């Protein structure tokens, strides 16, 4: 697990006020939505806005890759790293 993945897990927990969820409870490859962590579309919107502010990345809801970026913590980390490197 990378430090960015660990940071993102803590950020997701804090941002979405996930009670009774610890960083170690979230698998980096686990689905964030529906199955897995069980987030919903409201969570996605809230998380997207928070990620844009914290990491200064641009998330275009019309981009066909957005679902892939938000599929797991690992995918989010990869997306953020690629945006920072661009």
Q: Classify the phi-psi angles of 36: left when phi > 0, otherwise alpha if psi is within -120 to 50, otherwise beta.
A: left
35-82: per-residue pLDDT in tens?
889 999 999 999 999 999 999 999 988 899 999 999 999 999 999 999
For the full predicted model, state whether its pTM sits above 0.85: yes
Q: What pLDDT shows up at residue 1?
A: 59
> Residues 13-29: what's their mean pLDDT?
95
- The full set of domains in the chain, from first to last, is 3-85 (1.10.1200.10)
**Residue 33 three-state SS:** strand
Which residue(s) pair with 39 in the sheet? Answer: 33
Closest to 52 measured CA to CA, from 3, 22, 13, 11 = 11
């Amino acid at each position: 697990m990378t430090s960015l993945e660990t940071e993102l897990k803590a950020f997701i927990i804090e941002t979405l006020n996930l009670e009774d969820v610890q960083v170690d409870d979230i698998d980096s490859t686990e689905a964030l939505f529906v199955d897995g962590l069980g987030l919903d579309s409201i969570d996605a919107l809230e998380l997207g806005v928070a990620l844009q502010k914290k990491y200064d990345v641009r998330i275009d809801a019309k981009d066909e890759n957005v679902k892939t970026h938000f599929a797991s913590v690992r995918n989010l980390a990869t997306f953020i790293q690629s945006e920072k490197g661009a």
